[in-house]
Amino acid sequence: MTKKICIVVASRANYGRVKYLMKAIKAHPDLSLQIIVGASTLLERFGKAVEVIKQDGFKPDRSIHYVIEGENLVTQAKSTGMGIVELSTAFQDLEPDMVVTVADRFETMATAIAASYLNIPLIHLQGGEISGNIDDRVRHAITKLADYHFVATRLSRERVISMGESPERVYNFGCPAMDILTNENLSISNDTMPTTPRGVGKPVNWERPYILMLQHPVTTSYGQGFAQINETLEALKSFSNLQKVVLWPNPDAGSDEISKGIRQFREKNSKDINFSFFINFSPENYARVLNNAACAVGNSSSFLREGAFLGVPAVIVGDRQRNREHGLNICFADYDAACIAKKIQEQMTIGRYPQDHTFGNGQAGQQIADALAVIDIKLK
């Protein structure tokens, strides 16, 4: 009898993390894949990642709306509660043998609580990491709710075990996001990006140098996002001879402040033809865009994870990732335009870094699927 493995995909970043795990589960003779898509994956203003998921050949078993409009602290808490309510019903209907949840977001917390209260064994990916904000609390809380752990680094495994989890239930196969980097052609050209929606701003000439910017809100400094993003954008403006590719933020509390800052900057600087703004990329196209960037700027964890694997020079702005493990490709800057610009210039002068496999070697999806097929699914 095959095990039913239910994966909840609740953000564009979630999908990039688990795509190759989903492929491995779908192809495994002893596993049956169930997919729930929800939250921002269903929303047009965050790129409607569900369309990418369907184009990749996956058929969601449930689609659940549970993001409450506002992107502030209150709506984030309420969205978590709504997720618990809706996911509980979905789990009851689907009756999975295991539920998989990813990382440290509020959607992840909703998944973990719903599965735990229904006595469904919980699989947690990317536990044991430290970043430096409220994500740490959420991530560690999910670790204590989870029954099995598939961490991304050696240090993360040690941390999870030190929290009292049984070593035999903590696996380190690396981060499944690395699988995309090893299984896809990451070269980029104007011919390889034809299906990417342009968004607004000048069309990107992908065959010429560009800076990639992706900056999310920091929940613990809610209310400061507008000022923070403006410092980063002003720093980018100083590189007038380079193209700038700007991505929209995730739906955490404070997202509206970041988005407002980007929109106002875009309107005030409409004559600067070197800025291009995008809502979303497919996981493969995002990997290409990151891999070929002259420098990555902002606070996305992908700069530390995939960026390290690829050797892409990156500047992490602010404290959202201040305590996370990282490779030599990372340097840090405060929320100050002059400081950010200086660090960008330094990183571009250095250029590419050696590849760093701290977060895995790109074989995690298949290894996790094989482990799920044989592990005892008793609750801890």
- pLDDT tens digits for range 340-356: 999 999 999 999 999 99
Mean pLDDT of 331-341: 97
Contact criterion met (CB below 8 Å) for 214 and 296: yes
Query: Directed axis angle between helix 364-374 and helix 12-27, to 10°?
Result: 60
- The predicted-structure confidence for 210-266, as pLDDT tens digits, reads as follows 999 999 998 888 889 999 999 999 999 999 999 999 999 988 888 889 999 999 999
Does the pLDDT value for residue 146 go beyond 80? yes
Does the pLDDT value for residue 139 go beyond 90? yes
**Alpha carbons 376 and 378: distance in angstroms, whole number:** 6
Look-up of token digits 């140098």:
209
**Alpha carbons 160 and 145: distance in angstroms, whole number:** 12
At the fourth CATH level, the homologous superfamily of domain 3-176+362-374 is Glycogen Phosphorylase B; (3.40.50.2000)
Does the pLDDT value for residue 196 go beyond 80? no
Number of C-beta neighbours around residue 345 at 10 A: 15
**Two structure tokens written together for 108:** 């992840």
Does the pLDDT value for residue 195 go beyond 70? no
Mean pLDDT of 153-166: 97
Q: What pTM does this model have? A: 0.92
DSSP secondary-structure letter at 331? E
* pLDDT for res 25: 98
The full DSSP string for 219-281 is: GGGTT-HHHHHHHHHHHHHT-TTSEEEEEPP-SSTTHHHHHHHHHHHHHHTTT-TTEEEES--
**Alpha carbons 130 and 53: distance in angstroms, whole number:** 29
High-pLDDT (> 90) share of the chain, %:
77
* pLDDT for res 105: 86
**Alpha carbons 172 and 128: distance in angstroms, whole number:** 11
**Alpha carbons 212 and 101: distance in angstroms, whole number:** 28
Least confident of 92-96, 196-200, 262-266, 280-284: 196-200
**Two structure tokens written together for 323:** 């305590």
Contact criterion met (CB below 8 Å) for 243 and 208: yes
* pLDDT for res 272: 67
CA distances to 32, 101, 175 from 372, in Å: 11, 14, 16
* pLDDT for res 220: 81
Please tell me whether residue 36 adopts helix, strand or coil conformation: strand
* pLDDT for res 194: 66
Name the CA dihedral angle for 5, 10, 11, 17, rounded to a multiple of 10 degrees.
Answer: -20
**Alpha carbons 47 and 59: distance in angstroms, whole number:** 18
* pLDDT for res 132: 73
With CA atoms as reference, report the closest residue to 343 among 298, 289, 288, 293: 298
Mean pLDDT of 304-311: 96
Question: When comparing pLDDT for 49 and 338, which is higher?
Answer: 338
| Segments making up each domain of the chain, as ranges | 3-176+362-374, 200-350
Of the options 1.10.10.10, 3.40.50.1370, 2.30.38.10, 3.40.50.2000, the CATH number for the domain spanning 200-350: 3.40.50.2000
**Alpha carbons 63 and 350: distance in angstroms, whole number:** 45
Surface-to-core class of residue 142, CB atoms within 10 Å of its CB (0-12 exposed, 13-18 middle, 19+ buried): buried
- The predicted-structure confidence for 100-112, as pLDDT tens digits, reads as follows 999 888 899 999 9
Indicate the average pLDDT of the chain. Answer: 93
